[in-house]
Chains A and B, each alone.
Chain A
Amino acid sequence: MDHFPLLTAIMLAPIIGALFLSFLPREADKIIKMVSALTMMVALGLVIYAYEMYDFNLGGMQFVESRAWIQDLGVSFILGVDGISLPMLLLTVLIGFSTVFASWNITKRSKEFFILLLILLAGVTGTFITQDLFIFLLFYEMVVIPIYIMVLIWGSSKRVSKEYSGMKLTIYLLLGSAFMLVGIIDLYLNAYPSGMRTFSMTALAQANQLGNLSEGFQIFTFFLLMIGFGSLLSMWPLHSWSPDGYAGAPTAVSMIHAGVLKKIGGYGLIRIGLLILPLGAKFWAPWIALLAVCNVLYAGFIALVQKDLKYVIGYSSVSHMGYVLIGFAALNGTGMNGAIGNMFAHGIMSALFFAMIGYVYEKTHTRYIPDLGGLAHQMPRVATGFMLAGMASLGLPGLIGFIPEFTIFVGAFREYPVYALLAISGIIFTALYILRVLANVLFGPRRTEFDGCADARGVELVPLIVLGSVLVVFGVFPQMLMGMVNSGVEPMVPFLTKLHAAPALLGGLFR
């Protein structure tokens, strides 16, 4: 054995934890939670180790493992991480670790909850580390069903019933993935002649360089992929599942969904869409930029008038995804850096947001903004978390959100000055709705009806500390994040420059 199969271990840790949990008695509530926490701690430790050991200077795929899997389909079990997937992986386990603690107060059917949670986390982890499309698909949809069941059992029916929101979430994402599946199969069949077929992402990316994929084909297939990943990323107008879904979901699911799952959409667009079908990406980029602006402005407007905390953050995350999309659509190194960085930043802050909303709801039993107020008096710690997440969300320098957003605008401005200006103006809306929420919920006169509400304490503080410190540390030392991301984007830069030089089809109209 030449080296320890690190990535397999990271992926298997939650699965083994879930298997172990299924043999524990239902009543052993505390042990169940401890085991889940321990599992995620192991995964987190391993990922941090990988993050530290990753060689920036070398770049490219590292910790690669490869096994033959299905011969006749050309599937092999390839794992590997680079500067793009490693931050995503870190994000996953950070949030996964926090969700265990954010769900510490769940006592109803806790065994099932934590089993599902761990399966869900294993699925997300797998999506980011696999380098084979078939295995990617296995993991990608593995997450959908646990989420549905979790929304059903532990969700809340405030504005929409949880049955509705769960089903909407699931069907939306699955329908999107149907298009993506056809796109991927189409790609698989056309990249190489029969007999040599493969699902390996690297090999498929080479197919384009060999000229096996015509421009028309790339444009069509990228469109299919765009529907799939776009609906996961809540790209306008495929976003409507997102606020409803978050509103119905339990805290942990909202955290994971907004924090990590959406990022699979962006990750897929870059890893599969751009690297394998660059001409398709180039054709659709102006459209994506246009939709991105819609995302930013439309969702920002809607967030302004929401009265339910979760809806505000739900629409806010839709709006933030617009920044990621416009960074992607710029198709240059800077924009790409910003897009990936922002995915990480947004993941951390939205997870923190949802965790804090979870606490507020748990203690005050309401998420209705006009009913809340002055919570900073009774819950200073929760208020701190809220403030941190809010400030990061509106891009305050010194916190994690600033650098990636700034980078995105720099990148996007070069390509689409008008769109970039419009998107930048979206920051004003962000500031408006974030400050409005913070002011109405946290500040103002002390309200006596909340005097009985205890502040977060004990293990409840773990998400706040973990995610909050990441917000601050990565904000103060952006190099820790952006250096890693850049090492992943760097190799793409010549490729992107060449892409810009290539003669453009119709898409050039919008330039």
Chain B
Amino acid sequence: MNITLLTSEIAIICLSLLIIILDLLLPRFETRRSLGYLAAAGVAGVFAYTCTQYGVSATVYQGLFTLDSFALFFKQIFLLAILLTLLFSFDYVEGLAKYQGEFYALLLLAVAGMMIMASANDLLTVFIGTELMTVTFYILVGYQFNSSKSSEAGMKYMILGSVSSAVLLYGVSWVYGCTGSIVFEQIAKHANTSLGMLFGFGLIVAGLFFKMALIPFHMWAPEIYEGAPTPITAMLSMGSKVAGLAVLLRMVFIAFVPMQAYWGGIVSIIAAITMIGGTVIAMWQTNIKRMMAYSSITQAGYMIVGLLSADASGIKSVLFYAMLYMFANVGVFATIIAVKKHHGSNEIKDFSGLAQQSPLLAVVMTVSLLSMAGIPPMAGFAGKLYVFSTVIEKGYLWLGLLGFVMSMISVYYYLNVTKVIYMNEPCVQKEFIVSQPLRIAALISLLATLWIGIYPGPLAELANTAARSLSIL
């Protein structure tokens, strides 16, 4: 029994508890910025620690919790995402009316939930991890107490999220009924393709697709993305989605191997609908956060395309895409926060003249958006190349063609933002302040996006190691 495998999760939870305690000790009117720095430093420490864990492949608690390169890769995505999110949201959190310390603490708990999801090797741990993440998000989404939109979003997310969790849990009970176990390896051993098993599997997948916001399970996303505080929108878009993906990958490729015969048709259709629907609806949005919601729906569609190929190269491409998707999101949301601070709202027209007020953020925003669109030499292109070449190899040429056409069409709405940034003159003549941590986060995202796009070798290798550690392959 090797409890050190849990070190990073324990560290994050302890960090969160520490922040709660310090929050109580700090004088009431003192700024909570220091807690934010502490959280960021702690996360950075944990991230550095996880880098030393590569190559480990071990389980604790009778195989219910596993740590392999695959889990580590996802944990690093979450840790990087939260680290960069913390960096760009200090100012935002300072603008909150109350409970700033708790904001940081809850964010960290959500990340702990995601990390448990990445390592979970049985359906119960998956469920608890998912709940830890989503329950925390229910609270965080409604954190802007003076905004009715935020409260509404929190309430909606709670109701819809609970329904999806219930569906997931119901599916788990069916699978348990059919196989007599909830541990992935045991399920694989007893798996059959009886109707009951398929039904349970379908319910679980539907629950996870809800977390990933794939069409037709996407209805919650736009409202909640718009209403939530921007750092939470960022974490929903990066964390919730990618964590759902992590669970889905491990589950499909370890527990439900016999189901893969039924898998291809459904997933290819859902991916196609998601890519088309997300792109088409995003074109009509005037609010940047709503647009990003639809954009993230589309992105999820691209990501699950990689699942179709059902081999190591497919998983690798998904992992690769998840990482670059995270970096692109950081760039976009950092800019959104800076602009929101300047203008006080999130409409696309508020980006007017950003190119003249803050050339760096203008470039970061453009590069990040184009990375999502998959334009070379940004990272998104390499990602799409990996994803679609694996499925074209499996004979889904139509899906590859559709994916590329859709991504080029999506350039339309991304460029509409770019147009506002570059063409229009600034509408408010006051100094545009970009705080130092935000600038650092934006710069990291920019450099990472370009680096991965131009020289994807190292990340591809890392993703490859991670993909191969899913031992069944």
Contact = CB atoms under 8 A, between A and B. Distances in A.
- Chain A interface size range: 35 or more
Interface string B382-407: 00011011001100010011001101
Contacts of A141: 375-377, 381
A69 B457 contact: yes
Nearest to B420: A152
B396 to A, nearest CB: 11
A175 B406 CA distance: 9
A294 to B, nearest CB: 25
Contacts of B423: 152-153, 163
Contacts of A73: 385-386, 456, 460
Interface string B444-473: 000000000111110011001000000000
Contacts of A177: 408
A72 B464 CA distance: 9
A174 B122 CA distance: 44
Contacts of A185: 385, 388-389, 392, 400
Interface stretch (A142-150, A260-268, A397-405): A142-150
B415 A148 contact: yes
A177 B407 CA distance: 11
B130 interface: no
Contacts of B407: 178
Interface in A150-192: 152-153, 163, 166-167, 170-171, 174-175, 177-179, 181-182, 185-186, 188-189
B76 to A, nearest CB: 20
B356 interface: yes
Contacts of A149: 418, 422
Given A112-B355, A145-B370, A182 B400 contact: yes
B408 A178 contact: yes
Contact of A171 (B370, B377, B400, B409): B409
A178 B405 contact: yes
Given A138-B454, A163-B423, A186 B408 contact: no
A413 interface: no
Nearest to B422: A149
B33 interface: no
Contacts of B340: none
Kindly name the residue among B389, B409, B453, B455 whose own CB sees the greatest number of chain A CB atoms within 10 A: B389
A79 to B, nearest CB: 15
B381 A171 contact: no
A478 to B, nearest CB: 37
Interface in A56-93: 69-73
Contacts of B156: none
Contacts of B456: 70, 73
Contact of B405 (A167, A175, A186): A175
B388 A72 contact: no
A140 interface: yes
B419 interface: yes
B411 interface: yes
Q: Give the secondary structure class of A's interface.
A: helix
Kindly name the residue among A144, A163, A182 whose own CB sees the greatest number of chain B CB atoms within 10 A: A182
A161 to B, nearest CB: 11
A112 B359 CA distance: 9
B392 A140 contact: no
Nearest to A71: B457
A142 B412 contact: no
B366 interface: yes
Kindly name the residue among B355, B411, B418, B453 whose own CB sees the greatest number of chain A CB atoms within 10 A: B411
B415 A181 contact: no
Contact of B460 (A70, A144, A167, A181): A70
A72 B381 contact: no
A181 B404 contact: yes
A363 to B, nearest CB: 25
A197 B428 CA distance: 54
A333 B392 CA distance: 36
Interface in B191-250: none
Contacts of A6: none
B125 to A, nearest CB: 32
Interface in B409-436: 409, 411-412, 415, 418-419, 422-423
Nearest to A112: B355
B377 A138 contact: yes
A492 interface: no
B104 to A, nearest CB: 35
A109 interface: yes
A149 B422 CA distance: 7
B401 A179 contact: yes
A341 to B, nearest CB: 30
A70 B381 CA distance: 14
Nearest to A137: B376
Contacts of B376: 137-142
A426 B61 CA distance: 81
A108 to B, nearest CB: 11
Contacts of A112: 355, 359, 422
A179 B405 CA distance: 7
Given A109-B356, A112-B355, A181-B404, 9 more contacts: A112-B422, A138-B381, A167-B412, A170-B411, A175-B409, A182-B392, A185-B392, A186-B397, A188-B389
Interface of B: 355-356, 359, 366, 370, 375-377, 381, 385-386, 388-389, 392-393, 397, 400-401, 404-405, 407-409, 411-412, 415, 418-419, 422-423, 453-457, 460-461, 464
20 contacts: A69-B457, A71-B461, A72-B460, A73-B385, A73-B456, A137-B376, A139-B377, A141-B375, A142-B377, A148-B415, A163-B423, A174-B411, A178-B404, A181-B404, A185-B385, A185-B389, A185-B400, A189-B392, A189-B393, A194-B393
Q: Which 7 A-B pairs have the closest CB atoms?
A: A178-B404, A174-B408, A152-B423, A138-B376, A178-B408, A138-B377, A70-B457
